[in-house]
Amino acid sequence: MAATSRPAVPEAERQRAWVPPFTADGVAGNVLDRFHFVASRCADEVALRSPRGTLTFGEIDRWSDDLANRLLGRVPAATDESRPVALLFGHDPAAVVAMVGILKAGRPFVPLDGHLPPDRLATILVTTAFLLAMAPLVSVIATVLANGIARFDAQFFTYSMRGVVGEGGGAYHAILGTLVITAIAAVMSIPVGLLTAVYLVEYGKGKLARAITFFVDVMTGIPSIVAGLFAFALFALFFGPGVRMGFMGSVALCVLMIPVVVRSTEEMLKIVPNELREAAYALGVPKWRTIIKVVIPTSVAGIASGITLAIARVIGETAPLLIAVGITTGVNLNPFDGRMATLPVFSYYSYVAPGVPREPFIDRAWTAALVLIVLVMALNLLARLIARAFAPKTR
């Protein structure tokens, strides 16, 4: 393809020619107009650099780098015309250089008057907001890590506080109590939450479904201490006002966990395409079997990750366990007999009611908080792994 001969243009004039056109209000035109503008400038470059009218792959690479530098306001890079090439026929050289250069630039045009375009300004604002939101989180993690790493040792994970007055001891009893109470809460909450979500999505109509949805929304926003007071009042009716046991804490956590499981499962079931259900119905499969064999397996990745996040949400609750379970210095694995220790309550009491000397108790409180953060992070990571493992396989 022969190029039209063009008169030579001075270098200073060529540099000014790369300024993109702007409307009266200073906003650049649409993408197509800007592309045509750059392509016209590339036509001049092609005519000056390659009179034969064809471009090689090497020339496209080098000249588009030059174009990207110009679009970004940098000094154009020197070009080398001596690299071995394979000829590229059948395409407008100017358009090829313009497209590749715009892609390499990777950001919108910046006018020479220094004003940022709206999309660049929005990017800066969003990035700034993200950094401001991350600052407290990073500060909390750094503070807990700096203060809790001192007692993050084997003794902390293998010893309880029975018989310990000052230094030493650990949170072995609290870790076991946290796992037992949270496991019981999960066993009670997951089936109820799953079945409620299936009913709302697949069967729920009329006043009953609207009432369930309303109460689930209300339960999602209740303070955690209300759940603890509910469990305490319920068991106090049968066992007296001084009752404390691990199962009470599980009931309180169950109240907090059920609405999270319902909401996450409901959203996952809603995104299952109706075409899958209709295909099963067309084959004569009953609705209950379609739900078990088609709907739930399709959404199992989201359901499993939602359940894991619900567990992570309740495992660090302090207020309900402080009321319903209390604290003890020894290991108690029976949730129906007496008080049990949990990590949140252990950390709370170690901080607000330390013994003498004070420092060992404060160190144990920080380390218990660090262990809780590690558990929550591990559960979030597990949720991602579950979602990836059960996600539908695509070719």
Q: What is residue 393's predicted lDDT score, i.e. its pLDDT?
A: 64
Report the alpha-carbon angle 376-330-334, nearest 5: 75
Q: What is the pLDDT of residue 337?
A: 87
Q: Where in the chain is the domain with CATH 1.10.3720.10?
A: 152-390
368 touches 347 (CB < 8 A): yes
Q: Are 50 and 87 in contact (CB under 8 A)?
A: no
What the block records as the tokens of 165 is 């007055």
Q: Which of 43, 104, 29 is nearest to 71 (CA)?
A: 104
Place 256 in a pLDDT band, splitting at 50, 70 and 90: very high
122-150, pLDDT tens digit by residue?
888 888 999 999 999 899 999 999 998 98
**What whole-number distance in Å separates Cα of residue 290 and Cα of residue 278?**
9
Q: What is the pLDDT of residues 324-338, one digit of tens each?
A: 998 888 888 899 988
pLDDT of residue 17: 43
Q: Cα(167)–Cα(367) distance, rounded to whole angstroms?
A: 14
Quote the CATH superfamily of domain 152-390. MetI-like (1.10.3720.10)
Q: Quick check: 56 pLDDT over 70? A: no
Q: What is the DSSP string of 183-246?
A: HHHHHHHHHHHHHHHHIIIII--HHHHHHHHHHHHHHHHS-HHHHHHHHHHHHHHHH-TT---H
| pLDDT over 60 at 285, yes or no | yes
Q: What is the mean pLDDT of the chain?
A: 76
H/E element, 87: strand 87-88
Q: 77-88, pLDDT tens digit by residue?
A: 444 333 322 223
**Three-class DSSP labels, 251-289:** HHHHHHHHHHHHHHHHHHHHCCCHHHHHHHHHCCCCHHH
CA atoms within 13 A on the CB side of 379: 19
According to the model, what pLDDT value does residue 248 have?
93
Average pLDDT rounded to a whole number, residues 351-362: 84
| Tens-digit pLDDT profile for residues 27-39 | 344 444 555 555 5
Which one is predicted more confidently, 179 or 57? 179
pLDDT (average), residues 277-284: 89
Strand, coil or helix: 28: strand
Three-state SS for 88?
A: strand
State pTM to two decimals. 0.67
How sure is the predictor about 366, in pLDDT bands with cuts at 50, 70 and 90? very high
DSSP state of 395: -
Q: How many angstroms separate the CA atoms of 209 and 152, rounded?
A: 49
Rounded to whole angstroms, how far apart are CA atoms 290 and 203?
13
pLDDT of residue 65: 63
Which one is predicted more confidently, 102 or 25?
102
> 88 has which bridge partners?
55
- Tell me what pLDDT residue 258 has: 93
State residue 29's pLDDT score: 45
Q: Which residue has the tokens 């994970």?
A: 157
Confidence of residue 9 (pLDDT cuts 50, 70, 90): very low
Contacts 24+ apart (CB under 8 A), 327-334: 328/173, 329/160, 329/161, 329/162, 329/163, 329/164, 329/173, 330/160, 330/161, 330/162, 330/173, 331/160, 331/162, 331/172, 331/173, 331/176, 332/173, 332/177, 332/246, 333/176, 333/177, 333/180, 334/246
- Rounded to an integer, what distance in angstroms lies between the CA atom of residue 110 and that of residue 69? 12
> What is the per-residue pLDDT for 118?
62
Residue 110 phi/psi, 5° resolution?
-115, 115
